[in-house]
Amino acid sequence: MTHTADEMMAIAAARALSGRQRVFVGIGLPSTAANLARRTHAPDLVLVYESGTLGSKPDRLPASIGDGILAETADAVISVPEVFNYWLQPGRIDVGFLGAAQLDRFGNINTTVIGGDYHHPKVRLPGAGGAPEIAASCREVYVVVRQSSRSFVDRVDFVTSFGHGTGKGDRERLGLRGAGPTLVITDLGVFRPDPETAELVLTDMHEGVTLDQVRAATGWDLRTAPEVGRTPPPTTGELAALRALKEASR
């Protein structure tokens, strides 16, 4: 069964949730991956959405963060202050699953402005939403993002959500409790922070992707792990589940 780069990305992201119990889900690619994980290898995964749903079990992808299906299939529906204060802030969530408009070499995320200055930006993006606290408070953060030299930049134009700052030790110095971004999954490969420097390095490439391709889509002088692995291609079952999920969401 042939597959697209986007399908490989969604499946790799879903696999990353193996063994995780509670995931705080951003809309878009993270939601696709989390729902796919729940339909395949992680049926007990608890999906938390910032609209106030704990344990949503939608049978299709929600159209937005507040889609009624998230409330109708949840274990509990709570207010937004409660989501952030009682469930996210104390560190009850294993993984925060985020997207990004820009991501830099230390895993900082920008969803605020691109180009120009803050008051006169070239592009105004939606802003922070729940992401800063997700990035601060979840035990780990996974980022899923389509990779290009525009999205993978040396330094983000605006730090909306803190990753590893300017390198190893910044999170500890600031008193942040979660480990920050430990995994970045793109349509080309997988990146993890270097244990010494916290800089994102390439650890795996998806099937058919070349190192030159990854370098061309990275806005900094990319470093690679000593041995770069190959992501196992999607299984027939994974692809079928992803396509069924997409079909059910039309």
Partner 1 sequence: MAEIVTLAEAIGELVADGDVVALEGFTHLIPTAAGHEIIRQGRRDLTLVRMTPDIVYDQLIGAGCARKLVFSWGGNPGVGSLHRFRDAVQHSWPVPLEIEEHSHAGMANRYVAGASGLPFAVLRGYVGTDLPSVTATIKPITCPFTGEQLTAVPALNPDVTVIHAQRADRAGNVQLWGLLGVQKEAVLAARRSLVTVEEVVDELTPVPGAIVLPSWAVTKVAEVPGGAHPSYAQGYSERDNAYYAAWDAIGRDREEFANWLRQVREEVPA
Which residues are identified as catalytic?
50
Q: How far is the CB of 127 from partner 1 (least distance, A)?
A: 5
Q: How far is the CB of 173 from partner 1 (least distance, A)?
A: 9
All residues at 6 or more sequence positions from 122 whose CB lies less than 8 Å from its CB, including other chains: 113, 114, 115, 116
Q: How far is the CB of 45 from partner 1 (least distance, A)?
A: 21
Q: How far apart are CA 146 and CA 152, in angstroms?
A: 9
35 versus 160: smaller Cβ distance to partner 1: 160
Q: How far is the CB of 129 from partner 1 (least distance, A)?
A: 4
61 versus 239: smaller Cβ distance to partner 1: 61
Q: How far is the CB of 79 from partner 1 (least distance, A)?
A: 5
C-beta atoms surrounding 183 within 10 Å: 21
C-beta atoms surrounding 250 within 10 Å: 6
C-beta atoms surrounding 86 within 10 Å: 12
Q: How far apart are CA 72 and CA 74, in angstroms?
A: 6
80 versus 248: smaller Cβ distance to partner 1: 80
Residue type, 99: G
Q: How far is the CB of 155 from partner 1 (least distance, A)?
A: 11
137 versus 218: smaller Cβ distance to partner 1: 137
Q: Which residues in this chain contact partner 1 in the complex, by CB under 8 A? A: 27, 50-53, 63-68, 70-71, 77, 79-81, 84-85, 88-89, 112, 118, 120-133, 136-137, 158-162, 165, 170-171, 174-177
123 versus 240: smaller Cβ distance to partner 1: 123
82 versus 223: smaller Cβ distance to partner 1: 82
